[in-house]
Structure 1
Amino acid sequence: MNEPINIFWFRRDLRLDDNHGFYEALKGDCPVMPIFIFDTEILDKLSEDDARVTFIHDTLQGIRSAIQRDYDSSIAIFQEKPINVYKNLVNEYDINTVYTNHDYEPYAINRDKEIETLLKENNVQFKTFKDQVIFEKNEVVKNDGAPYVVYTPYMKTWKEKFNSYYLKIYNTKPHLNNLVQHSQLPNLSLSDIGFKKSKQKIEPYTVTPELIQNYEAIRNFPAKNGTSRLGPHLRFGTVSIRKMVKKAIAEKNEIFWQELIWREFFMQILWHFPHTVTKSFKPKYDNIKWRNNEQEFKLWCEGKTGYPLVDAGMRELNETGFMHNRVRMLVGSFLCKHLLIDWRWGEAYFAEKLHDYDMASNVGNWQWVAGCGVDAAPYFRIFNPTTQIEKFDKNLEYIKTWVPDFQELTYPQPIADHKFARERCLKVYKLALN
């Protein structure tokens, strides 16, 4: 291909329809070559049967088949550090512009700066667009321009600012004939990138009117199938956030809508405060003397703490890559408060296991349970892992599903007495904060 082309770089937006950057690329003057890069910086840290890699790979093959069949085009798939891929691409093709969508994580921001510099040196434009959120960066801030660090006022301003303009759907279909006419672009199998098909499966999402209407009533009960399973699909962009907000509004369900706003709250926190990936938002919480008992951490990871609701959550996570949100709060609180294990250990374990892992939400929620983040629960609020059963799994349905051995003699004794652990936690936190 000697004619000038544009490139669209798929990342956290693995869909053909209502994709802002892809839409802008297709409307340009040059034919568009879509690409995806399996970034070795990221892949090298994952286990070889990671379900997220299988999911991304399957999704890409679906995109590839669709555009080969209907448009005699394809998607070029690479495995390498992105900067090296672009060094090769600028030598191989006459590239006019590279289009992609914004990413807000610290690693992604640095990667994109490096690539933009390389492209500029080769007279190639780099254009990025807002796609995975309704509001980003500085779009929802206080009157003085400072970022919100408490959710409720952020959410209220978000809603005040919001109108139908933000739900514009980027209809790519009329423009897909502007894809490059080349159906033999490089492809990679899972084994080519050093992975094998995962036994775990990322579930399809469910966002029916019925689910949205019942969301508030049943979302806190882990035994009920009352959650949307949207997380991984928003994370990898197989679904459009604009279409999801549209559905929430159509069903007039504030709670479901506000869950989507929570996601954006944590994204703008990470963008404004990138240090929170490794440091507490409230610096004095970095003075906490964590016990960090490795044996206890191992028992927590395996779901063998002797507290059935905590163990059910961890076993569900290990087996399926999913954990109910209400239970996530409990297992997180238990790790930080009962066992006095650093929230960063829990955050890293969730990053490894959760199919819907998203850095902004994971870091934000872990800091919330530890008490050291924005808008955090006060440190002296410590969930009681036994009374939580009475509130959220009264009939033990969830526990029986994941901890069938909880009434047997082989089931472990609690690794920490609640009353003792609570008092110890308060003492350690007080010492650090005074």
Structure 2
Amino acid sequence: MTSLPMSKVSLYWLRRDLRLEDNHALQQALASGRPVQCVFVFDSNILDTLSPADRRIGFIWQSLQEVQTSLRAAGGDLWCATGPAQDIIPRLAAQLDAEAVYVNEDYEPYARQRDQVVAQTLATMGKSLLSYKDQVIFARDELLTSSGKPFTVFTPYCNAWLKRLSPQHSQSLTMPSLAGRLRPPAGTPAMPDLAELGFAQAEPCLLTPGASGAQERFADFCQQRIQRYHQQRDYPGVKGVSYLSTHLRFGTISIRQLVQFASFDGGEGAMCWLKELIWREFYQQLLWHFPNIAAHSFKPQYRDLPFPNRQDWLESWQKGLSGYPLIDAAMRQLNQTGYMHNRLRMIAASFLVKDLLIDWRLGERYFAEKLLDFDLASNNGGWQWAASTGCDAQPYFRIFNPVTQSQKFDPDGRFIRRYVPELAALSDQAIHAPWQAKALPEGFVLGRDYPRPIVDHAEQRQLALALFGKQ
């Protein structure tokens, strides 16, 4: 192999693409003919807004360790820096004499603003920021309505997405060997440990971080559950979903690989799962076209709803002490693990907005703090759907009943018993609504051992209908 020129480098900046396989920007950087230096920035503009206990930093840190190990095995290293990314990347490009910085696109408002600043700064230096599509199949304006406008209803978007999909769109990228193509690790800064970053030591995670963990999780889903996905995905007490959302969020697995497999499988379970991947892209393109929805309701008539926003009810919901067992189990799962089953996200969100009459943005913010798989577009889209404020939302007059939802999706109380163990001795019938039970276990006192409901669903439903119906 011809040795590469060493005077200049190509800088590959990892963000939410923490893998070395099937990686568009890295592929292009390697094809540049210049040695490649990989860099990750612990962006202080983001870190400074997070709690020291935020689980995501531990997941990122462990995933980066795997990236670093692979780079070192190939003769390179991972350059890690801490500070404002918009300052660090241009400075590093100058320091390493990089002609271009290669990135995979990020569509969130902060990322777009940051990348614009970096691109402008690099341009003044005679350098380029080269961006590539990697986290979605179709981005930005690639899918529009027949009138050239963004889709704001999921079903037409989904149909257009499926119609447009071709094998080329989901084909995994062929990556050249890293050996001989990386910048030698002279003077590469060491990765800071979590304490140096101001974060607690990573707690044991339900997910194995990194690309290897993603492939292990994906293989388990494909071999064990995807055929039954459409039948089991709504039941939190059953291992029925893929558990790949965190890996998708941080790019430890490629969306192309997932879509390619689902399309090739073609079974009912696989196609149902593919639709969930399309929902993810629907919310991504929605945030791209309407960035103001990050802070405001999509529907203007619901932007100034006079929610009472009782703080004590919000705190009861957050702690899993609402008196509604399935809601409490869901919130405790979130608090303990950083994960919440998707069906429960809808039910818990509906309960906060429609039963407790609390602004959806307060719930969205809490999920953003706790979810390991937090993704702004999906989190915002899901909350606005449940709150009836989004573009393609649950109609405001359709309100989840937390008891009947519990009876339907956790019929034997398996999930409730796991996260609300004080109710373990209740019967399968009583566990969904202990206050309605004709008999409770001896020694169990409602209001002492487990709270009574903080609200009456039927009464709150009428108040919600009145609140939304006035608009």
Q: TM-score normalised by the shorter chain: which range applies?
A: over 0.9
Structure-2 residue corresponding to 1:52:
56
Deviations 1:141-196, CA, capped at 9 Å, x for gaps: 11111011000000000000000011232222435531112265112222221222
Q: What is the CA distance between 1:2 and its match in structure 2?
A: 7.0
- Structure-2 separation of matches of 1:241 and 1:377: 27
Q: What is the CA distance between 1:90 and its match in structure 2?
A: 3.8
**Secondary structure of 2:57's match?**
helix
Q: Does 1:335 align with 2:352?
A: yes
Q: Does 1:423 align with 2:462?
A: yes
Is contact 1:222-1:398 (8 Å) kept? yes
Structure-1 residue corresponding to 2:174:
171
Is contact 2:93-2:99 (8 Å) kept? no
Q: Does 1:159 align with 2:176?
A: no
- Structure-2 separation of matches of 1:200 and 1:297: 28
- Structure-1 separation of matches of 2:200 and 2:357: 36
Q: What is the CA distance between 1:91 and its match in structure 2?
A: 3.7
Deviations 1:15-38, CA, capped at 9 Å, x for gaps: 000000000000002111000000
5 Å matches for 1:335-354? 335-354=352-371
- Structure-2 separation of matches of 1:341 and 1:102: 34
Q: What is the CA distance between 1:72 and its match in structure 2?
A: 1.5
- Partner amino acid, structure 1, of 2:205: K
- Structure-2 separation of matches of 1:202 and 1:277: 29
Identity across aligned pairs (percent)?
Answer: 40
Structure 2 unaligned spans of 5+: 209-216, 427-443
Is contact 1:90-1:122 (8 Å) kept? no
- Partner amino acid, structure 2, of 1:212: I
Aligned mate of 2:13, from 9, 16, 30: 9
Greater shift after overlay, 77-86 or 99-108?
Answer: 77-86
Structure 1 unaligned spans of 5+: none
- Structure-2 separation of matches of 1:226 and 1:296: 32
Structure-2 residue corresponding to 1:412:
451
Structure-1 residue corresponding to 2:320:
303
- Structure-2 separation of matches of 1:302 and 1:328: 15
Structure-1 residue corresponding to 2:387:
370
- Structure-1 separation of matches of 2:56 and 2:204: 9
**Secondary structure of 1:138's match?**
coil
Q: Does 1:229 align with 2:243?
A: yes
Aligned mate of 1:180, from 177, 183, 186: 183
Q: Does 1:385 align with 2:422?
A: no
Greater shift after overlay, 317-326 or 166-175?
Answer: 166-175
- Structure-2 separation of matches of 1:88 and 1:263: 34
Q: What is the CA distance between 1:4 and its match in structure 2?
A: 0.9
5 Å matches for 1:125-274? 125-182=128-185, 184-187=187-190, 188-204=192-208, 205-206=217-218, 207-252=221-266, 253-274=270-291
Structure-1 residue corresponding to 2:374:
357
Q: Does 1:112 align with 2:115?
A: yes
Structure-2 residue corresponding to 1:61:
65
- Structure-2 separation of matches of 1:311 and 1:388: 13
- Structure-2 separation of matches of 1:299 and 1:405: 16
**Secondary structure of 2:303's match?**
helix
Deviations 1:374-399, CA, capped at 9 Å, x for gaps: 11110000111111111111111111
Greater shift after overlay, 160-169 or 90-99?
Answer: 90-99
- Structure-2 separation of matches of 1:309 and 1:285: 28
- Structure-2 separation of matches of 1:14 and 1:45: 22
- Structure-2 separation of matches of 1:269 and 1:202: 30
Is contact 1:303-1:311 (8 Å) kept? yes
- Structure-1 separation of matches of 2:226 and 2:204: 26
Q: TM-score, normalised by structure 1?
A: 0.97
- Partner amino acid, structure 2, of 1:268: Q
- Structure-2 separation of matches of 1:90 and 1:341: 47
Q: TM-score, normalised by structure 2?
A: 0.89
Is contact 1:49-1:199 (8 Å) kept? no
Is contact 1:68-1:183 (8 Å) kept? no
Deviations 1:108-139, CA, capped at 9 Å, x for gaps: 00000000000000001110000000001111
- Structure-1 separation of matches of 2:49 and 2:366: 12
Is contact 1:343-1:366 (8 Å) kept? yes
- Structure-2 separation of matches of 1:196 and 1:419: 43
- Partner amino acid, structure 2, of 1:426: L
